[in-house]
Amino acid sequence: MTRLLIATNNQGKLREYQQMLADLPYDLTTLRDVGIDDEVEETGTTFVENAQLKARTYAAQSGLLTLADDSGLEVAALDGAPGVYSKRFGNIDGDGERYQFLLDKMAAVPQGQRQANFRCLICIIAPDGREWLCDGRLDGEIAFAPRGNNGFGYDPVLYLHNLGKMVAELSMEEKNRISHRARATECAKAILAEYAKS
């Protein structure tokens, strides 16, 4: 079975990929499995650049078919911030402190002007150098207070109108059907299914 390197140290993200890619004929491998413990510095200014940077670096280090992503939250009232800086927003460590910093920045923004979306860009690189990109997004709005205990990152503060729930109130199964990562992964699955036949 072909090994597929899932190039992340984020355990929440890893669990989501393991579930979403479970029906493909791949042996999912982690960075730890292949002895890579250095983090690629995300110096890109777009999700595409960061996903490519991670995929190219880890593919070169491992020699394996590699899937890497870059994802984040884009808030309209903040001109698309935090965007690619979502994980480092406000130079704060810790999900709760980071989304509270966001809520504080959004405190004066009224209902109806709090549109936001999660975005995920996946880059897949084959050992022969072929490269594919997949894009996914999930639209919602920033709530006034966090709710829900599932997920990670900004999940407790993105409200989904069509479901009447925060992302953090979705079950893993629900989230893996509709999330930005799920939508990008649908595209990735089609690519990986074709690759498995080659």
Catalytic center residues: 70
Cα separation, 180 vs 163, in Å, equals 15
Burial readout 172-190 (b: 16 or more C-beta within 10 A, e: otherwise): eebbbebbbbbbbbebbbe
Assess contact for 169 and 151: CB atoms under 8 A: no
Return the structure tokens found at 163. 């479901």
Distances (CA, A) of 158 to 73, 119, 140, 194: 9, 12, 6, 34
**CB–CB of 54/7 below 8 Å?**
yes
Q: How far apart are CA 149 and CA 166, in angstroms?
A: 10
